[in-house]
Structure 1
């Protein structure tokens, strides 16, 4: 590629008089994990929302696959959204409690016009298998799964639209140590297999130094020397 998968320049996010992200710049290549590390309130999650254009930045550039996103309308963003997917901290909160896991994983395929009744169910089963879930988990609802299983289902849902970038916002902080290791190993295997780029947001310095290729330490919306 002649350009990074994700290229962020001078990003600014404000909430009224408070500057949550203050002229932050970074890039992420395909197959690379960049971690944003720092305490609560340092601007990590605000950066993630701005990258995904779920919260429009107040200034700066966000380029994905070479295309500037900040000036696009929601209609223009729609075809790009399948290629940059979030995985959130709370595995139960990110899935509808009323939906079976199988339906939750199938939903992105339907929303983005990729559902085919002939092979859609097989695609869902393939996704569940890819993240290490028994197909029988597809018939359960989130409250019937463990936290680790639920987070794996959330990853399967993110993979359904064939993304190039995953924005992982504290994806293992709600899990105990043994389950956390399994999910991190899964993410590493998926990256190797699919060439995904990861923007990995985590407050645990030991986790990011083990998992990430590069780390940006943040305080008050800015990078700080390490």
Structure 2
């Protein structure tokens, strides 16, 4: 493992039955760095992201986060690690429950991790919403009352609640109108500068990747072809 690597993926293989979705993929992500996985739909980008998050257990290979090998850990052993690696998914509405107010969605990780109390919890949520450029009053709204860009900002606030070191961003702006994509990308860049976050950035849009990423890995048919 590289001395400065936050994430070190080695010879990752992900299979679905007889189909190999990810074929011996290796890469590293350093703190404060954005590594992009670029390629067409079906090339294995999202399967790689799910394996890094341990939401899909890989068939073989290693995923080292902060020096710890994750693929051999049980679900119980993964619990203290999961807050440090947080996802931001493509669909801003689908990633938030339509039944819950925004403040409850953002607070959910705090409650799951036992870090919520009735005194400072709401204050923390207000601060998180403000940090992602949302007025704290938006916490009283439901997802359908927000725009796609606002919902994605709420999703980012929820990810930040866990105080992560790495964000896995799976097509975070592809479902947004072009007019709001730049604002969300600028927010992510500002958060990275402020917090020193590492980003694994999944994207099929080469123009976005060239603008946003520090390094780019090109994938085709489950394999790395450059980068």
Q: TM-score range by the shorter chain?
A: over 0.9
Does structure 1 residue 170 correspond to structure 2 residue 171? yes
Partner of 1:179: 180
CA distance in 1, matches of 2:226, 2:200: 19
CA RMSD of aligned residues (A): 0.9
Residues in 2 aligned to 1:187 and 1:99: alpha-carbon distance in whole angstroms: 24
Q: Kindly report which structure 2 residues correspond to 1:117-196, keeping only aligned pairs within 5 A, or say none.
A: 117-196=118-197
Q: C-alpha distance in 2, partners of 1:109/1:138? A: 15
1:82 is aligned to 83
> Structure 2: any 5+ residue segments left out of the alignment?
none
Q: Residue by residue, what CA displacement relative to the aligned partner does 1:122-179 show, whole Å, maximum 9, x if unpaired? A: 0000000000001111000000000000000000000001000000000000011120
Gaps of 5+ in 1: none
* TM-score where L is the length of structure 1: 0.98
Q: TM-score, normalised by structure 2?
A: 0.98
User: What is the distance in 2 between the residues matched to 1:194 and 1:116?
Assistant: 24
Structure 1 segments of 4+ aligned residues over 6 angstroms from their partners:
none
CA distance in structure 2 between the partners assigned to 1:214 and 1:197 by the alignment: 12
Q: Which residue of 2 aligns with 1:212?
A: 213
Instruction: Provide the secondary structure at the position in 1 that maps to 2:97.
Output: coil
Distance 1:22 1:223 in 2: 8
Q: How many residues align?
A: 226
- Does the Cα contact within 8 Å between 2:169 and 2:201 map onto a contact in 1? yes
Is the Cα contact below 8 Å between 1:3 and 1:65 reproduced in 2? no
